[in-house]
Chain A
């Protein structure tokens, strides 16, 4: 068996020692199942990212999850109108922990050019965001970079991130119920 990422191991005869946190982190990071929430041109760039040229599957994301129940990473790519905001929030709430959110493009991150009464001025008004990808729309390379940053988080974060006080207070800021330990 090849080396798993940068997980340090101690190999002996008939046994292998390692750190469970790091193994699980590496496993999570390399099998993120993304749920694409694509509403506009950023969604087209995301499709290119998934396509054979850029091939996001190289990062362990062969399977798009169109059910939030089986998704780890919510990729919001595009303009979110205020009418759509509760839907987005519900999708996020339906995802099981651990979960991450990638906000792709200017619209999802800040409303972008749509400084108007009907558009949500950034998805971080309804759900917490882990990584923002700037651009209008961002190129696939930028989206990949954002996803690699999420992978980095998945690798290095505590496995029990969701039970930390910081995380719980973040969730309560958004009026989202968090898991109890």
Chain B
């Protein structure tokens, strides 16, 4: 079923309403992807949920990304949202610098953001301001680093029985 909304219309509504907070947009594989200022995240998500013509009221996913080589925007938080009424999907991206890894929590708008934000914190160390219980969720509690950051090896560094020569290291 095709969507009742189209990307151009939604994007122009967003830029009319938020102007400077909308930094960039693209449509990879037809999915409207909008980079927004992290300080405006709550406002945008709240508005797009309440706006009667859009009703983007379902939070599909929150994820983190680490781009160690882009100075000043090393981390991204990606939000996938879905309008069940209009069958329309949208993706928001917020980039954060490594020295100020903080973004507002969406838990005040979507309760479902709770565990997703905990997971993003668990793997990337991104702080979500206003989160009720920002502690590790999947990894063991004693873990003292954020394993999905690129500087850490994927492999378990404690094992001795694998010969590096056979594993391309």
Contacts and interface: CB of A to CB of B under 8 A. Distances in A.
Interface of A: 82-83, 110-111, 115-119, 121
A83 B143 CA distance: 10
Interface stretch (B19-27, B83-91, B105-113, B147-155): B147-155
A121 B140 contact: no
Contacts of B154: 115-117
B156 A115 contact: yes
B165 interface: no
A116 B156 contact: yes
A83 B147 CA distance: 14
B99 to A, nearest CB: 25
B123 to A, nearest CB: 10
Interface of B: 138-140, 147, 152-159, 161-162, 167
Contacts of B140: 82-83
27 contacts: A82-B140, A83-B138, A83-B139, A83-B140, A110-B161, A111-B156, A111-B159, A115-B154, A115-B155, A115-B156, A115-B159, A115-B162, A116-B154, A116-B156, A117-B147, A117-B153, A117-B154, A117-B155, A117-B157, A118-B138, A118-B139, A118-B147, A119-B156, A121-B156, A121-B158, A121-B159, A121-B161
Contacts of A119: 156
Contacts of A117: 147, 152-157
Contacts of A82: 140
A136 to B, nearest CB: 15
Contacts of A111: 156, 159
A25 B154 CA distance: 46
Contacts of B156: 111, 115-117, 119, 121
Nearest to A117: B147
Nearest to A81: B140
A179 B157 CA distance: 35
A102 B161 CA distance: 20
B142 to A, nearest CB: 9
Nearest to A118: B139
B150 to A, nearest CB: 13
Given A115-B167, A117-B153, 6 more contacts: A111-B159, A116-B154, A117-B152, A118-B138, A121-B156, A121-B159
Nearest to B140: A83
A111 B154 CA distance: 14
A83 B167 CA distance: 26
Contacts of B167: 115
A121 B155 CA distance: 10
Nearest to B141: A83
A118 B146 CA distance: 12
Contacts of A115: 154-156, 159, 162, 167
Nearest to A121: B159
A111 B157 CA distance: 13
Nearest to B157: A117
A116 B159 CA distance: 10
Contacts of A116: 154-156
B160 to A, nearest CB: 9
A116 B123 CA distance: 14
| Nearest 4 CB-CB pairings of A with B | A83-B140, A121-B159, A115-B155, A117-B147
Contacts of A121: 156, 158-159, 161
